[in-house]
């Protein structure tokens, strides 16, 4: 997936968690706002902004969840997410569901289940 071209002096290093840790969106500062983006531009990608990096990431995650719930399987973001999950070892999925935030578990369930079905068909 193409990434938005952002000048290095605007990039912000931030500890990503949840689905952002897997997808690695880009965090940057624009004026007084922090923004988080996955994709080449805000129209085709997923973006979130806020007054702090935490707020930007929270909005980004909400926009990602909204997008994934309404997107088709041919959507660029959906294909990217599935490819990333398929390339990761199974161990990225925590084994103790009670400690996983619900939105992260929903994210994994939505895409990891299709990986399991595909691997069972290939056996």
Summarised one tens digit per residue, pLDDT across range 40-75 is: 999 889 999 999 999 999 999 999 999 988 888 888
| This model's pTM is above 0.85 | no
Structure tokens at 87: 């390339």
Within a domain: residue 2? no
**93 belongs to a structural domain:** yes
Domain span holding position 110: 8-121
Structure tokens at 100: 């996983």
3-class DSSP state for residue 34? Answer: strand
Q: Taking 60 as the threshold, does the pLDDT of residue 76 lie above it? A: yes
pLDDT at residue 6 above 60? yes
1 in a domain, yes or no? no
Does residue 36 sit in helix, strand or coil? Answer: strand
Domain count, the chain: 1
| Of 97 and 38, more confident | 38
27 or 93, which is more confident?
27
For residue 33, list its beta bridge partners: 30
């Amino acid at each position: 997936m193409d990434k938005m071209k952002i000048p290095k002096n605007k990039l912000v290093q931030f500890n990503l968690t949840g689905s952002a840790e897997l997808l690695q969106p880009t965090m940057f500062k624009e004026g007084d706002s922090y923004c988080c983006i996955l994709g080449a531009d805000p129209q085709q990608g997923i973006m979130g902004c806020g007054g702090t990096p935490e707020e930007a990431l929270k909005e980004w995650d909400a926009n990602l969840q909204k997008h994934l719930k309404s997107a088709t399987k041919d959507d660029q973001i959906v294909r990217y997410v599935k490819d990333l999950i398929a390339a990761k070892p199974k161990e990225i999925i925590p084994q103790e569901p009670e400690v996983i935030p619900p939105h992260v578990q929903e994210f994994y369930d939505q895409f990891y289940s299709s990986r399991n079905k595909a691997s069972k068909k290939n056996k």
